[in-house]
Amino acid sequence: MRRAIELARTALGQTSPNPVVGCVILDPDGVPVGEGFHRGAGHMHAETEALASAGARARGATAVLTLEPCAHHGRTGPCADALLAAGIGRVVYAVPDPNPAAAGGAERLRAAGVPVRSGVLRAEAERGNELWLTAVRRARLCVTWKFGGSLDGRSAAPDGTSRWITGPAARRDAHALRAAHDAVLVGSGTLAADDPQLGLRHGVAGRAPLRVVLDRGGAIRSDARVLDDAAPTLVAIAKGADRPRIPRRHEVLELPSADGALDLRALTDELYARGLRSVLLEGGARLAASFAARGLLDRVVGYLAPLLLGSAARPVLDDFGASALADGQRFQLDDVRRLDEDVRLTLRATPLPGEPA
């Protein structure tokens, strides 16, 4: 199962609206004879790729999967049927499929007389497919807020300098995090202050995510680095605002606004409807506070440097309306990792009713 989880992670950031899935085929003696992973929408599912790898050796074998085999017809046929046709003798999977349109493969296999076991290394498999699972369970985009800051929660010195608070290892890790998401989002403040390019650097491979810029007034400059050809860009403006002049390979999206701010839920709903399942917030303190105020933060990844900057420095998060401890948003600490001299914290929002803890 751990090999299947490793295979699934190979395609992080490339499969939406589908999940990442890995599969390993074991012969009756427990020897691996085939493996595969889902590479993206329109490609073979992990099961069919693994079955093709195993060939005739799949008959009577055990299929080990990170996600319950699907039971629906999409661009490809049901994976449960493919497993039955190949003569698989047993199926073991980690996570039940939360998508009602695709679930039911386990029952189809059991009905055909194939022994099925679920829940093996479920927690590990959940983490590997977390972005997709969170989005499907909550029926909206999974939102991760990423920040780099000092020990006292500051993102820039009083004079505005911020490069570099964290070291090279943390920056490489942050780009790998970016590559795992379907979109990366900044606001007009970050755009004006930093002119970010938002592509993949530091040796990180993969498909660059969709770049999304919140620019309510449509003031983005035509020479902004985020409008280069490294990846597509979506510029979100308020309805009725002047449409910015940008290269044709990019797109302008009009959104409703209220109280001088764009409707963030309308934005996440639109991206979800387009088949995206995750977005990485890399904007400034005000943008992160806006998502926090609306209860739209699902994950937080913070890179902390061994540095103090003091109260005059720029905070990583603006006020979002918490006036007492009870008003604050608590997260579950999931992982702490050292990256040379820096520390990465990964936190997750409290699960909704019915979600695994």
Residues taking part in catalysis:
47
Asked if residues 182 and 16 have their Cβ atoms less than 8 Å apart, the reply is yes
Cα separation, 139 vs 147, whole angstroms: 25
Asked if residues 209 and 174 have their Cβ atoms less than 8 Å apart, the reply is no
Cα separation, 31 vs 25, whole angstroms: 8
Residue 353 CB partners (closer than 8 Å, separation 6+): none
Tallying the residues shown for the chain, one arrives at 357
Cα separation, 25 vs 11, whole angstroms: 19
Cα separation, 330 vs 237, whole angstroms: 31
Cα separation, 294 vs 345, whole angstroms: 22
Please report where in the chains the tokens 């889902």 appear, as a residue. 38
Cα separation, 156 vs 166, whole angstroms: 11
Asked if residues 71 and 43 have their Cβ atoms less than 8 Å apart, the reply is no
Q: In the chain, where do the E strands start and end?
A: 22-26, 32-37, 62-67, 90-95, 116-118, 142-149, 154-156, 183-187, 210-214, 233-238, 251-255, 257-258, 261-262, 278-281, 299-304, 314-315, 331-339, 342-349
Residue 321, Cβ neighbours under 10 Å: how many?
Answer: 9
